[in-house]
């Protein structure tokens, strides 16, 4: 493992932590950055396995709430309904992701042009939604109806196309279905936990025999950076969204997608 590879892994880990929980598509950023940096991993495993850092980041920030939720399960119907809502929202991605894993990794993850185009399109969609005069009916994630959770879960499946953004799809879907901006972002946080753990576990199972010691070292470095950056983002995102909405992320998507296309055409 050379120093350049470790620096690349650290940079990609930082990108993962900064982008995983905002609607800009962490996968798109990782794949584009890896492409232009010349960084590669067996079966694009690094891009999925480094998510462990972001997973632990959100678990650490939400540990107190998660612990309260677990201890309330035996006595609180509200807590049980919320857990059921998260699992119901996770189910579509678990089924479709498992069935389409090979196609996603070997076809969709390999098209940098597709990723850039989807980034741009998603940016304009997010701008439109952010400016729509929506009237929220749901403002507390603990009280989301099961039907709403399932619909958000179906919309999350769009994020299997790299560039769409898991958080972007779930947040935009929640907004269109009657959630306010803050609770939509928070529900995306909670839904990220089983979704990212599932993706991590599946990819590790599919590719563990392809990983060498050098790959593991890069993943560890990326994990540490993703954890640190992820904690910072999770702690600050809800307040940022409450004040500024999603337009800054939309413009960022459009800028990254456009620069990516220029880079692909130029080099």
Tell me the pLDDT tens digit for each residue of 79-113.
999 999 999 999 999 999 888 877 887 778 888 99
Average pLDDT, the chain: 88
Question: 61-70 long-range CB contacts below 8 Å, 24 or more apart?
Answer: 61/231, 61/234, 61/235, 62/189, 62/190, 62/234
Q: Ramachandran region of residue 134, left (φ > 0), alpha (ψ -120 to 50) or beta?
A: beta
Angle at 143 between CA 141 and CA 149, to 5 degrees: 70
What are the pLDDT digits (tens) for 191-229?
999 998 888 888 777 777 766 666 778 888 888 999 999
Position 43 pLDDT exceeds 70: no
CA-based angle 49:108:197, to the nearest 5? 25
């Amino acid at each position: 493992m050379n120093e350049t590879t470790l620096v690349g892994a650290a940079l990609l880990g930082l990108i993962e932590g900064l982008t995983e929980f905002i609607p800009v598509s962490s996968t798109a950023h990782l794949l584009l950055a890896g492409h232009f940096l010349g960084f590669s991993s067996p079966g694009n495993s690094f891009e999925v396995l480094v998510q462990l850092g972001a997973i632990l980041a959100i678990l650490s920030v939400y540990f107190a709430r998660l612990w309260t939720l677990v201890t309330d399960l035996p006595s609180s119907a509200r807590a049980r309904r919320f857990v059921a809502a998260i699992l119901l929202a996770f189910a579509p991605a678990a089924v479709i992701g498992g069935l389409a894993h090979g196609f996603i990794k070997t076809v969709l993850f390999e098209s940098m042009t597709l990723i850039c185009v989807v980034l741009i399109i998603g940016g304009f969609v997010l701008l439109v939604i952010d400016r729509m005069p929506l009237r929220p009916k749901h403002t507390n994630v603990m009280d989301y109806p099961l039907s709403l959770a399932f619909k958000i879960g179906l919309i999350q499946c769009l994020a299997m196309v790299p560039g769409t953004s898991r958080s972007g799809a779930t947040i935009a879907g929640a907004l269109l279905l009657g959630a306010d901006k803050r609770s939509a972002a928070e529900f995306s946080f909670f839904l990220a936990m089983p979704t990212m753990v599932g993706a991590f576990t599946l990819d590790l199972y599919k590719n563990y025999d392809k990983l060498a010691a050098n790959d593991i070292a890069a993943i560890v470095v990326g994990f540490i950076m993703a954890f640190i950056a992820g904690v910072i983002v999770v702690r600050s995102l809800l307040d940022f969204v409450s004040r500024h909405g999603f337009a800054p992320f939309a413009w960022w998507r459009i800028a990254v997608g456009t620069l990516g296309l220029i880079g692909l055409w130029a080099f």
